[in-house]
């Protein structure tokens, strides 16, 4: 997550690097706290959207296959608390769904027309 202080610091660092390259004193692109907060909010929207998409996909998979299958990935070892969004990947959730799928027996497959 970005905050105004981090954006100000990064902007100052970029200006210093550019000044070192060109030999000309460069002004930071973002130099006010209000501008820095606007930039931080803009960056955080993209992060929040990605987090929301990941949570939504995990929830949709859980609704489709059942929580018994996905809890091993989405919950902590004791099973009481959900893991944070950074502690699992969608690949792991999909792998759990694939591994937990009920597969037809050979007889059922051969009896299909």
Mean pLDDT of the chain: 90
**What pLDDT was estimated at residue 62?**
94
| 21, pLDDT greater than 80 | yes
Q: Which residues contact 100 (CB under 8 A, 6 or more apart)?
A: 65, 66, 68, 69, 70
pLDDT of 61 reads 95
How many angstroms separate the first and last alpha carbons of the chain?
55
Tell me which residue has tokens 């690949």. 91
Tell me the pLDDT tens digit for each residue of 39-86: 998 889 988 999 999 999 999 999 999 999 999 999 998 888 899 999
State residue 46's pLDDT score. 86
Percent of the chain with pLDDT over 70: 99
């Amino acid at each position: 997550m970005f905050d105004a202080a981090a954006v100000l610091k990064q902007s100052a660092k970029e200006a210093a690097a550019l000044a070192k390259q060109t030999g000309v004193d460069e002004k930071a692109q973002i130099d006010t706290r209000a501008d820095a907060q606007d930039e931080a909010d803009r960056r955080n929207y993209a992060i929040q959207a990605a987090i929301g998409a990941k949570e939504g996909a995990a929830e949709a998979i859980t609704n489709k296959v059942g929580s018994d299958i996905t809890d091993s990935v989405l919950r902590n070892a004791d099973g009481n608390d959900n893991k944070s969004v950074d502690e699992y990947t969608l690949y792991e959730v999909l792998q759990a769904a694939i591994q937990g799928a009920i597969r037809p027996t050979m007889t059922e497959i051969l009896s299909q027309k």
